[in-house]
Structure 1
Amino acid sequence: MPTDVERRTGLSRKLYEEIRARIADGTYVAGERLPSTRALAAERGLSRATVSLVYEQLAADGFIESRAGAASRVAHGAAQASAVGRTKQARSTVPEPDHLAGPLSAIGQHIASLTLGDSSPTASGEIDFVYGPLSGNDFPTLAWTKALRAVERQRSHRLEYEDPRGNLELRRALQAHLSQTRGLACSVEQLLIVSGSQQALDLCARLLVQPGASVVVENPGYRMAHHAFEAYGAKLLNVDVDSQGLVTEQLAALGPTQMVYVTPTHQFPLGSFLPISRRRQLLDWAADRRAWIVEDDYDSEYRYTVRPEATLYSLDMHGRVIHVGTFSKTLSPQMRLGYMVLPTALIETFTNAKRVTDRHAATGVQRALAKLLEEGSYDRHVRRIRRLQQARQRALLQALDRHLGGEVEVQGTASGLHVVVWFRSLPATAERALVGSARQQGVRVYPISPLFNPSKTRPAEQRSAGLVMGYALQDLDAIEEGVRRLADALRDVRG
């Protein structure tokens, strides 16, 4: 229980804050007379001494003016400051004129022009077929907690900044893991631990692309990667994607370029796989143009039919490929842990850039992940979660067949955590109506059109409506119910 002194202190602080708030919101205007200490004490059930102390503090802080034998009044300076604050608050939603706003750098102007559009939170009862998030129930909580406790018990007596390339234990464990699972041979020095694949893309754009230079991207493709290049003033050159990934035959007609960004193992979003012939064609083209290849090894852990093909990095004979991977799709996107395998010529530059950017990734999670890799817990987790995701995909495909049958065509089922569902009878222009109708039915789905850049070879008018449907977040019953609601939404759109 509070003592009498603590109670009086709390009451006086409450009264002080209340009067300040009334001055700030204009209830008490400049020059207005405040109640006497006697009247306010009687009104609030406080002692007059308590109110007097509050008035003295307000006067000392410049909010009121007090004189002996005269009533206390709101100070003119305080009212003016409050008026300015209210004016700024009222205008907070209105863009300020250019001459009032601070200048932005060229990069700042590019970033300000991007439309990123984060989605609103999922409402209660909604079934969300979002792609990207994972189910919290799938996280290996026990193994992760055990690893974290172990590394905390081994905390060094000297707390200092670590190697910008990342924790050495993790890089050694990752080197062995990539050799076993991806057939990728590299030295520990070539590995750079980053804050997710997005930081890897940002580093590539910042260090390797001149403003105004061209970057080749897949169309449709991963828009957050495209934005990373656009933020630094790059010009995007769109190359189509078909059932075998990037259409490499289109590369020869392109002008000078400094970089190409590809997702060869599981093309985002269509899910196609780049065959060996196109991989070699891409590598030869990049060598001739002296262009860098950023290989995003997206969803390589989730191939349900055959083992992934050799990486572009493993096939590269000219040191032009930068291999990028992440743990966001196997553990959690909230961990913000990814990695890069760099050509030898780029190690020092990227290491310095990482140091300047954020010194290094958080050490504790790096060491915990190293333990999971060393003990085999991570590999066991991946095998378990791969079975779970395959079961969810199977449930989604069966539900689509049951409720939509011949109405849809499904693409990208060989791997990954999402599929693309094409609606044969709906044009691409109907995607917005379908998404809106589904939302009314309590199910959230996501159109594929925003993942396309404008293209002369594949205009939107020639496409059917398509949805990118993720299944990693839902259980089997929710998947079934969500597709049933989607079928109702389709009927409403047709009606």
Structure 2
Amino acid sequence: MPAPSSPRPGSRSLYQELRARIADGSYAAGAALPSTRALAAERGLSRGTVSLVYEQLAADGFVDTRAGAATRVAAGAANRIAAPGSSHAAAHAPGDAPDNRRLSAFAQRLQAMPARMPAPDTAGVIDFVYGPLAGSDFPTLHWTKALRRAEGQRGQRLEYEAPQGNPALRQALQKHLHQTRGIRCSTAQILVVNGSQHALDLCARLLLNPGDSVVVENPGYRMAQQVFEAYGAQLLCADVDDDGLQTAQLPALSAEARPKLLYVTPSHQFPLGGYLPMARRHALLDWAGTQGCWVIEDDYDSDYRYTVRPEPSLQSLDHADCVIHVGTFSKTLSPQLRLGYMVLPPALAGLFAQAKQLGDRHSASGPQRALAQLMEDGSYARHVRRMRRKQHARQQALLQALDKHLGTQVRIQGAASGLHLSVWFPSLPASQEAQLVQAAAQRGVRVYPIRPLYLDGGRTQTQPAVAGLVMGYALLEQPEIERGVQRLAEALKSLA
């Protein structure tokens, strides 16, 4: 039987999403995909279009189809998608993948990684995704006024600006970081970037060579780890407990290979939510100073602290000038603004600015000037306080709903701060995690498995023994949270 033709543009995103969910374990081997009728209704596509996507997945060996039975994920499909050199490794629809011989080594490593495209916004689906914020929370009135003022002050010369960022914004950031995170730095050390992911890419590009070792948290933030892997780095896994990265494992890791860089989320470990205590912060910095290792401190959501007092940032404790502090406005304003910042050691500031200029000249000027005004007149600080109260209320709604509908069937981690919870199901084995995700999806609830955030190679642990989810709440209002958890409880009951 000849392979079906490549998916049309209208179905390509569905093909890519299903491939990605097979690759990351959301659809495990043997799991049934939604029926073509149900998926077509959910996505607003024709049933024929969904059937074409399923046929292409079957032709590529990712699913098994049988007349009168559900379409199921084929054994070994995830490995075939992610295997380096595989003809199916690219995160594109068939026919889109270029010849590997015409690609750089970086591109080939990137091609071998599973796609991580955002799931589409589907009407009626309650989405416990981590990352997006509710559009109604954006300070539209203040932002519009500030942006209008900024655009009205446009100079006579329309020219490229300093790659480090708008001077007024860097001055406002200097003051803000000193007041909120105890950071002492000059404006010359601050680099405005297009979000924290851009900062991580700059770090990997300027500090790593293929074959260098990078210490990462396990479990941890996969988008950061993939940046390092794409540049050819070897990952060394440090396990995580309730207090964050286990710094006692660092000497053994450095005995295996001399790490060039360490990536850590000390203020709210992703995804388990631990808050690195002071003793571990000092131990980490002492180890890094001895090893001559750069430390990336990802401070991605430290504005959301509920029951934990703030500890000094790693940067404020650093006496060896080895910490690169990374922050973002994606969690307080909007990820669509693509605004973040780095506080660099003095020895790196000029080099990073030069690389920023070479890559994109500078970040968009208007939003930088508007944000500087909001920070200078206090509007931004008032917005953050309002958002902290609102997100805490959402978190409490989620905790109460989990207690009401699931009770002792769940165990919670990471409730002291942040915009997500780790939710464990002690009675459900890890092998059924993908089935729980699918059962929830069939009831109109989108939840996200925790297993894909674990890497093999931890010092004392491998994959978790029980199923777990990462549940974000910043996108949802309290009635949606209640309904979503109730449906999740029904999904869990269906697996009993």
Distance 1:122 1:92, change over 3 A: closer
Distance 1:97 1:207, change over 3 A: closer
Measured against aligned partners, the alpha-carbon deviations of 1:302-343 in whole angstroms (never above 9, x if no partner) come to: 001233210000000010000000000000000000000000
- Structure 1 position 151 matched with structure 2 position 150: yes
Unaligned runs of 5+ in 1: 1-90
Distance in 2 (CA, whole Å) between partners of 1:178 and 1:187 is 11
Quote the RMSD (CA, aligned, Å): 1.4
The two structures have a TM-score, normalised by structure 2, of 0.79
Q: Distance in 2 between matches of 1:432 and 1:336?
A: 32
Task: Determine the structure 1 residue equivalent to 2:190.
Answer: 191
**Residue among 440, 459, 463 paired with 2:462:** 459
Query: 1:378-393 to 2 correspondence within 5 Å?
Result: 378-393=380-395
Tell me which of 301, 324, 327 is aligned to 2:326.
324
Corresponding residue SS for 1:258: strand
Equivalent residue number for residue 65 of structure 2: none
Q: TM-score, normalised by structure 1?
A: 0.79
Match of 1:215, SS state, is: strand
Provide structure 2 residue ranges, at least 5 long, that are not aligned to the other structure. 1-91
Match of 2:202 in 1: 203
Residue 179 (structure 2) aligns with: 180
Query: Which residue identity does 1:369 align to in structure 2?
Result: L
CA distance in 2, matches of 1:409, 1:430: 17
- Corresponding residue for residue 450 of structure 1: 452
State the alpha-carbon separation in 2 of the partners of residues 406 and 316 from structure 1: 42
Q: How many angstroms apart in 2 are the aligned matches of 1:392 and 1:245?
A: 24
2:135 maps to 1:129: no
Report % sequence identity: 62
2:308, 2:417 within 8 Å by CA — same for their partners in 1? no
3-state SS in 1 of match to 2:130: coil
Distance 2:494 2:125 in 1: 18
Q: How does 1:3-402 map to 2 (within 5 A)?
A: 93-94=94-95, 98=99, 103-254=102-253, 255-402=257-404
Q: CA deviation at 1:119?
A: 4.2
Q: Is the 8 A contact 2:455 2:462 kept in 1?
A: no
Q: 2:250 and 2:444 mapped to 1: Cα distance?
A: 43
Q: Distance in 1 between matches of 2:113 and 2:211?
A: 16
The Cα of 1:110 is off from its aligned counterpart by 1.2
For 1:306 and 1:257, locate their aligned partners in 2 and report how far apart those are by CA, in whole Å.
31
| Cα offsets for 1:8-44 (capped at 9, x unmatched) | xxxxxxxxxxxxxxxxxxxxxxxxxxxxxxxxxxxxx
User: 1:269 and 1:96 mapped to 2: Cα distance?
Assistant: 32
Equivalent AA in structure 1 for residue 454 of structure 2? F
Distance 1:95 1:277, change over 3 A: same
Question: Structure 2 matches for 1:400-439, cutoff 5 A?
Answer: 400-439=402-441
SS in 1 for 2:448: coil
| Aligned length, in residue pairs | 401
Deviations 1:31-60 (CA, angstroms, capped at 9, x unpaired): xxxxxxxxxxxxxxxxxxxxxxxxxxxxxx
Using a 3 Å threshold, how does the CA distance of structure 1 residues 362 and 283 change in structure 2: closer, same or farther?
same
Q: Deviations over 1:57-111 (max 9, x none)?
A: xxxxxxxxxxxxxxxxxxxxxxxxxxxxxxxxxx98247795xx65111111111
Give 1:183 shift: 1.1
User: Is the CA contact (8 Å cut-off) linking 2:236 and 2:457 kept in structure 1?
Assistant: no
SS in 2 for 1:422: strand
Q: What amino acid is the match of 2:338?
A: R
Task: Measure the CA separation in 1 of the matches of 2:291 and 2:300.
Answer: 25
Q: Distance in 2 between matches of 1:447 and 1:422?
A: 10
Cα distance, 1:247–1:141 mapped onto 2, change above 3 Å: same
In the alignment, structure 1 residue 489 sits paired with structure 2 residue 491: yes
How far apart, CA to CA, are the structure 1 residues paired with 2:288 and 2:453? 25
Q: Distance in 2 between matches of 1:306 and 1:488?
A: 33
CA distance in 2 between counterparts of 1:484 and 1:451 reads 25
Q: Per-residue CA shift, 1:253-304, capped at 9, x if unaligned?
A: 1121100000000000001000010001000111111000000012100001
CA distance in 2, matches of 1:134, 1:379: 18
| Contact 2:423–2:471 (8 Å) recurs in 1 | yes
- Alignment check: 8 A CA contact 2:213 2:261 kept: yes
Please list the CA deviations of residues 411-437 of structure 1 after superposition, one character each: whole Å capped at 9, or x if unmatched.
000000000000010111111000000
CA distance in 1, matches of 2:454, 2:371: 36
3-state SS of paired residue (1:466)? strand
CA distance in 1, matches of 2:93, 2:189: 47
Query: CA separation in 2, counterparts of 1:180 and 1:97?
Result: 50
In 2, distance between residues paired with 1:157 and 1:338? 28
Q: Secondary structure at the match of 2:493?
A: helix
Structure 2: how far apart are the matches of 1:110 and 1:294? 22
